Amino acid sequence: MKIKAFAPGKIILFGEHTVVYNKPAIAVAINRGVDVTLTSRSDDIVNINVETINYSKKLKLNNGKLVYEYDDSQKQITDYIYEVISLFEYEGGFDLSVDIKMYLGAGLGSSAAVTVSTLKALALYSGNDLSLDEIAKIARSIEIKIQGAASPIDTAMSTYGGIIYIDENSNLNPIDFDMKLPLLVSNCEIAGNTGKLVASVRNKYEKYPEVLEHIFTATANVAIDAKKALEDGNSQKLADLMNINQGLLDAMGVNTAELSDMVYQSRKFGSAGSKLTGSGGGGCIIAYTPDDIDYVYVKLSKLYPTFMCEQSQSGVYAEIIDE
Ligand code: PMV
């Protein structure tokens, strides 16, 4: 039996950081993510391969279960895989290959996509096909266990796909729209620390509450207008709002010289709107490029690791290739 599963990664299109203060935000599942291939074996060996990080390990099932002790001294992407494997009981071993087709630890939700795609494949293999709601819930609890804290955004995007508007009450509402979102994602290859960046914004807020309050309100209005721009298919407005959001994130202190360089280079080459995505301090930018994306991609990828993507309407899915 062979099972193939895929779960998308995500970008935050609008409203990172201010979402922490119950302001609206927009997250987008992208058509780059994590592919999992599971092939059944006739013995009781579990053979795990994660090519992206050159990881390979063979373990033996014990009465159909994988006994695994989570060691929180060294958090690794493989922890998510082991957590998922140890949820189920299996009739036989399997080869599990996890292919991460995006940047790791760069704010694109790689750990959620690994967890969700592995969960979908293994649930199917062990005869426990789970609903999407169950997948989102279990994946989130694994993220919380390993990371200590996790917003529901990454696991929701990997599970359900599409574009989600996170409202003032932290409810996740799908946005109904049919415009294309051709994006470039460039990575400065410096890791930002989400916890520290969230704390630094809080610190600024406590120091200059009146000033930051206005910046937060302006960002909230950007996200509210952006929802309308998406629903109306207004490309120019969407791009303008991304550029405004970037300026506001800079004012919050989470921009860096490298992120700025990527943002301005992409705009110079022809992207209509570009901004950092996620916590900042490093990581990635997104550049909305409705015209000549191939040209901008060639130029930008000479300077920074870059990939092209668009929104993924679909969330996690799996297929049984051969029984
Ligand atoms: O870098 P990411 O994708 O984990 O995004 C962090 C988003 C923040 O708004 C900065 C924090 C949060 O928990 O929402």
* 11 burial type by CB count under 10 A (0-12 exposed, 13-18 middle, 19+ buried): buried
Q: Give which of 199, 192, 264, 252 is closest to 222, Cα–Cα.
A: 252
Q: Which of 142, 173, 204 is the last residue of a domain?
A: 173
Q: Are 289 and 16 in contact (CB under 8 A)?
A: no
Same domain, 162 and 249: no
Q: Helix H segments across the chain?
A: 77-85, 110-125, 132-147, 153-160, 194-207, 209-232, 235-252, 257-269, 293-301
Here the CATH number for the domain that contains residue 41 is 3.30.230.10
Question: DSSP letter string over 297-316?
Answer: HHHHHTTS-EEEE-B-S---
Task: Give the pLDDT score at 196.
Answer: 92
Q: Tell me the per-residue pLDDT of 264-300, one tens digit each, with 9 for 90 and over.
A: 999 999 999 999 999 999 999 999 999 999 999 999 9
Backbone angles phi, psi at 96, to 5 degrees: -125, 115
Same domain, 47 and 74: yes
Distance CA 97, CA 83 (A): 16
Same domain, 187 and 150: no
260 occurs within a structural domain: yes
Task: Give the pLDDT score at 68.
Answer: 77
Q: Ligand 1 centre from 108 Cα, in Å? A: 10
Ligand 1: atom nearest CA of 12 is 3
Choose, from 43, 72, 79, 154, the residue flagged as catalytic: 154
Looking from the CA of 15 toward its CB, the CA atoms found within 13 Å total 26
User: What is the Rg, in whole angstroms, of the alpha carbon atoms belonging to the chain?
Assistant: 20
Cβ count within 10 A of residue 169: 7
Same domain, 42 and 158: yes
Same domain, 90 and 117: yes
Q: Which of 13, 151, 252 to mutate to test ligand 1, by most ligand atoms within 8 A of the CB atom?
A: 151
Q: Give which of 186, 182, 178, 185 is closest to 291, Cα–Cα.
A: 182
321 occurs within a structural domain: no
Q: Which of 122, 146, 173 is the last residue of a domain?
A: 173
Write the single-letter amino acid at 38: L
Distance CA 118, CA 183 (A): 26
Same domain, 132 and 194: no
Catalytic: 154?
Answer: yes
DSSP 8-state assignment for residue 152? S
Structure tokens belonging to residue 156: 């929701």
Same domain, 23 and 162: yes
Same domain, 131 and 162: yes
41 occurs within a structural domain: yes
The residue nearest atom 11 of ligand 1, judged by CA position, is 17
As a whole number, mean pLDDT of residues 222-251 equals: 97
**Structural domain range at position 228:** 183-309
13 occurs within a structural domain: yes
Same domain, 204 and 144: no
119 occurs within a structural domain: yes
161 occurs within a structural domain: yes
Whether pLDDT at 36 is above 90? yes
Q: Tell me the per-residue pLDDT of 40-59, one tens digit each, with 9 for 90 and over.
A: 999 999 999 999 999 999 99
Q: Give which of 84, 97, 190 is closest to 143, Cα–Cα.
A: 84
Q: Give which of 46, 123, 43 is closest to 78, Cα–Cα.
A: 46
Same domain, 149 and 290: no
Specify which residues 36 forms β-bridges with.
5, 98
Domain count, the chain: 2
Q: Which of 77-81, 94-98, 120-124, 272-276 has the lowest mean pLDDT?
A: 77-81
Same domain, 219 and 264: yes
Q: Ligand 1 centre from 278 Cα, in Å? A: 5
As a whole number, mean pLDDT of residues 138-158 equals: 90
Mean pLDDT of the chain: 95
Same domain, 108 and 204: no
Q: Give which of 168, 175, 239 is closest to 18, Cα–Cα.
A: 168
Q: Are 274 and 285 in contact (CB under 8 A)?
A: yes
Cα of first residue to Cα of last residue in the chain, in angstroms, is 4
Whether pLDDT at 75 is above 80? no
Of the chain, the percentage scoring pLDDT greater than 70 comes to 98
322 occurs within a structural domain: no
Q: Which of 173, 195, 213 is the last residue of a domain?
A: 173
315 occurs within a structural domain: no
Residue 19, ligand 1, Cβ within 6 A: yes
Cβ count within 10 A of residue 25: 25
Residues 6 or more apart whose CB falls under 8 angstroms from that of 263 comprise 246, 274, 275, 276, 285, 287
Distance CA 250, CA 256 (A): 8
Q: Ligand 1 centre from 171 Cα, in Å? A: 16
Specify which residues 10 forms β-bridges with.
29
